[in-house]
Amino acid sequence: METKKKDIFINPMWLRLGSVTLPPALVILFQALKGNQGVMSGWVWFVMAPLEQALGRLWSLLPFSAAEVLAALFLLGCAVWLVRAVVLVCRQKAPLPFLSRLLALASAWLWIWAGLCWLWNAAYYVPTFAQREGLEAAPCSVEELALVTEYFARQAAILSPQVPRDGDGHFAEKLSDCFDRGPEIYRNIAREFPSLDINSVKAKPLLCSKLQSALGFTGIYFPFTGEANVNVDAPACLVPATIAHEMSHQRMVASELEANFVGIAACVSCDDVTFQYSGYLMGLINLCNALYSVAPDMWYDIAGRTFTPELSRDWEDNSAYWHALESPLEDAAEEIYDSFLKSNDQALGIRSYGACVDLLVNYFGTQQRNP
């Protein structure tokens, strides 16, 4: 005798309820577990990192940033959804459809936040790069800071005439070539720091780079696609170092402090002169900011003795570019990102970018003392 199968029916109300309640539950679970380093380490190294690196390899097949396209489509969809909700409530004179659409929109944003917690924020709660590799980031003396600052200034000065330049002396390396060569720059540093040894994929330029500059950002890592995205409207002389910085996030270097250090170290240790120069220049900017705040006379002395015309040109180009973009919008974006870092227990907030100086001084200072 043949029996009839019963159709499986899922009440749409339960689906809506689940779509709204599950993301907050995931966020609450993350908040409850983030203090357990063992759990977070297991998640990051056995689930999150392999998943994102696989996604990075998958999306690397596209020549453009999938992250940028997906973000634009999502924001456009949210705007259309909201406008549609307003039109419906005006036509129907009933608030229920409007509230239902608002709830659906809130649910989408909650899913984004839950995904961010489990696909990126978790990396803030595992042993840091410095802890994994036994590096020291102890405070340094002004003399030690000056020693390493002068070393970076001299290395940048030596390399500054060796990179491509236009007739006016501006940095003129073809950026598409830098993106093509980017996956090779971690080869040498990975021998010293094994946690950086992964199957590299290219970083990608952002079409909306001007907007990134207006917000004060030089790049962004997108964990939902595993892509390292770089602002190519920023001064070209620092784009190679920014490529290295964003690629460090693909290696689960979450802290901006450490990502800056890792990107600089990868550049200056690679075999590519353009990346070497860009790395020394980015390191010099970080070191200069620190030294100038405590001993401006020492900084002026170092710059006066070491800067070449080519290095001075790049320094001025970078300063002029960012000075022209200073605005309340940049300040607001900086405050938001600062709050995001602090919400993930990054106590220094956005100052983490400058705090990489301690790692630079301890790592390169040791090399200077023990050549």
**How many percent of the chain have pLDDT more than 90?**
67
Q: Where are the domains of the chain?
A: 12-125, 130-369
Residue with tokens 């929109």: 105
Q: What pLDDT shows up at residue 352? A: 32
- Mean residue pLDDT of the chain comes to 87
Alpha-carbon distance of 197 to 185, in angstroms, equals 11
Please report the DSSP string for 8-61 in residue order. Answer: P---HHHHHHHHHHHHHHHHHHHHHHTT-HHHHHHHIIIIIHHHHHHHHHHHTT
Q: What is the pLDDT of residues 211-247, one digit of tens each?
A: 999 888 899 999 999 999 999 999 999 999 999 999 9
Considering only residues 352 and 283, tell me which one the structure prediction assigns the higher pLDDT.
Answer: 283
Lowest mean pLDDT: which of 5-14, 157-166, 322-331?
A: 5-14
Helix (H) and strand (E) counts in the chain: 17, 3
Q: What is the pLDDT of residues 198-207, one digit of tens each?
A: 999 999 999 9
Q: Are the C-beta atoms of residues 198 and 178 closer than 8 Å to each other?
A: no
Does the pLDDT of residue 347 top 70, yes or no?
no
- The kind and range of the H/E element at 293 are helix 273-294
Question: pTM for this structure?
Answer: 0.87
Q: What pLDDT shows up at residue 128? A: 92
Q: What pLDDT shows up at residue 140? A: 81
Q: What pLDDT shows up at residue 333? A: 47
Alpha-carbon distance of 225 to 60, in angstroms, equals 9
**Position 272 confidence tier, pLDDT thresholds 50, 70, 90:** very high
Q: What is the pLDDT of residues 81-104, one digit of tens each?
A: 888 888 877 777 667 777 778 888
Considering only residues 278 and 293, tell me which one the structure prediction assigns the higher pLDDT.
Answer: 278
Q: Are the C-beta atoms of residues 159 and 277 closer than 8 Å to each other?
A: yes
